[in-house]
């Protein structure tokens, strides 16, 4: 099998720089949380910092994927490697080989808009689905057309790759190979297809976010001392510093984190059992996440009472 690497240096550099810049913005947003007085604006800084950290992590992962971009050829298959993604294209399915520039004007490609990053999914009016695994612009890309979808590649030795491919197409395959695509393991988690789990988790975190938003919005206008407990007649029998407003809020967040992580552990253990041939329902995880939603409702009522 002949291996033709792609020149991913520009893509790696641009992705790495983007990761660093977004990380710096995340640090700045984190610093603003501690430098600004507590208010609803604090919540926006928190959400901004978390969002930027997620983007930085995603960009870092894309940079990591660029460590290995190559195209392998034998008589039976073209194997595309993009980091941990491996796609097998049977040579028996290849119907046409052309220059990528021929479809560039009519191709809608969803990709990371960074120099050298031509990785993504697209649509073409004539060819249909197009999948790009390239690190060069369209004029340096090779178009591989199959009945299922087309591919855009950019081997560093474009002429050598094209010659090797044509030779193998003329020789024909020695055996039939099924097309396949192997993705990172986390993309195959069952939870991405479980709507109930997603709703329970989203609801719990949304309620906790509302609790934080109410506390932060009302905090600047609260008196220095606030009632913390009420007697049977509804009169306050215990007061405290207004900073104690965030005690139930923080406790609710801690419980939410524990239930989320514990639920994931339980859920993944049931997924392993399913792969081994058993089919238990992840009821324990559902109950844990559902109970967390109920607890967040109680904390929401508590924060409304205190403020």
What confidence tens digit (pLDDT) does each residue in 109-127 have? 999 999 999 999 999 999 9
Those residues with Cβ within 8 angstroms of residue 218's Cβ, 6 or more apart along the chain or in another chain: 245, 307
In 3D space, the residue among 19, 16, 15, 43 whose CA is nearest the CA of residue 29 turns out to be: 43
Q: How many residues does the structure list for the chain? A: 307
Residue 3 to residues 80, 81, 154, 155, Cα–Cα distance (Å): 10, 10, 13, 9
pLDDT for the residue numbered 246: 80
CB 64 within 8 A of CB 155: no
| 268-293 confidence digits (pLDDT tens) | 886 555 554 454 558 889 999 999 99
59-96 pLDDT per residue, tens: 999 999 999 999 999 999 999 999 999 999 999 999 99
Give the CB-side neighbour count of residue 215, counting CA atoms within 13 A: 25
In this predicted model, which residue has the larger pLDDT, 271 or 178?
Answer: 178
The confidence score (pLDDT) of residue 277 equals 47
pLDDT reported for residue 249: 82
The overall average pLDDT reported for the chain is 88
Which helix (H) or strand (E) covers residue 179, if one does? Answer: none
Whether residue 297 is predicted with pLDDT greater than 70 in this model: the reply is: yes
User: What is the widest separation between alpha-carbon atoms in the chain?
Assistant: 91
CA 303 to chain centre: 33
SS3 270: helix
Of the listed ranges 25-29, 214-218, 244-248, the least confidently predicted one is 244-248
Structure-token match 């949304």, residue found:
206
Rg (CA), the chain: 27
User: Given pLDDT bands bounded at 50, 70 and 90, which one contains residue 5?
Assistant: very high
Average pLDDT over residues 148-154: 96
Helical H runs in 91-194? 158-171
Taking residue 287's Cβ as centre, other Cβ atoms within 10 Å add up to 14
pTM over 0.75: yes
For the chain, how far is it from start to end, CA to CA, in angstroms? 70
**153 pLDDT tier (thresholds 50, 70, 90):** very high
> Average pLDDT in the 234-245 region?
64
Q: Give the whole-angstrom CA distance, residue 211 versus residue 225.
A: 20
pLDDT of residue 279: 45
Give per-residue burial for 46-84: e unless 16+ CB within 10 Å, then b. Answer: bebbeebbebbeebbebbebbeebbbbbebbbbbbbbbb
Phi-psi region at 70: left, alpha or beta (left = phi > 0; alpha = psi -120 to 50): beta
Q: What is the DSSP letter of 37?
A: P
Alpha-carbon 125 to chain mean position: 28
Question: Is residue 117 a contact partner of residue 99, using CB atoms and an 8 Å limit?
Answer: no
Find, among 267, 265, 258, the residue nearest to 286 by Cα.
267
- Determine the average pLDDT of the residues in 255-276: 79
């Amino acid at each position: 099998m002949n291996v033709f690497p792609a020149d991913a240096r520009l893509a790696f550099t641009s992705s790495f720089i983007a990761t660093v810049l977004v990380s710096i913005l995340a640090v700045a947003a984190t610093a603003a949380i501690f430098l600004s007085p507590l208010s609803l604006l604090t919540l926006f800084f928190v959400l901004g910092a978390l969002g930027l950290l997620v983007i930085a992590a995603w960009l870092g992962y894309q940079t990591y994927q660029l460590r290995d971009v190559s195209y392998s050829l034998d008589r039976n298959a073209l194997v595309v490697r993009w980091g941990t993604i491996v796609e097998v294209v049977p040579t028996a399915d290849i119907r046409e080989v052309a220059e990528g520039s021929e479809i560039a004007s009519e191709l809608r490609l969803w990709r990371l808009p960074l120099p050298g990053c031509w990785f993504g999914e697209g649509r073409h009016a004539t060819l249909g689905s197009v999948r790009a695994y390239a690190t060069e612009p369209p004029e340096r890309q090779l178009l591989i057309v199959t009945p299922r979808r087309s591919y855009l590649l950019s081997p560093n030795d474009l002429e050598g790759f094209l010659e090797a491919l044509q030779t193998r197409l003329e020789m024909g395959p020695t055996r039939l190979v099924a097309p396949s695509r192997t993705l990172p393991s986390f993309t195959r988690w069952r939870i991405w297809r479980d709507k109930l789990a997603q709703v329970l988790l989203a609801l719990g975190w949304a309620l906790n976010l509302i609790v934080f938003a109410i506390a932060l919005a009302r905090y600047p206008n609260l008196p220095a001392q606030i009632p913390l407990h009420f007697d049977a007649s509804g009169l306050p029998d215990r007061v405290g510093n207004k900073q104690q407003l965030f005690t139930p809020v923080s406790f609710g967040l801690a419980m939410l984190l524990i239930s989320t992580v514990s639920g994931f552990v339980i859920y993944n253990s049931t997924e392993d059992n399913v792969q081994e041939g058993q089919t238990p329902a992840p009821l324990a995880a559902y109950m844990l996440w559902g109970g967390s939603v109920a607890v967040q409702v109680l904390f929401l009522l508590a924060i409304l009472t205190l403020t």
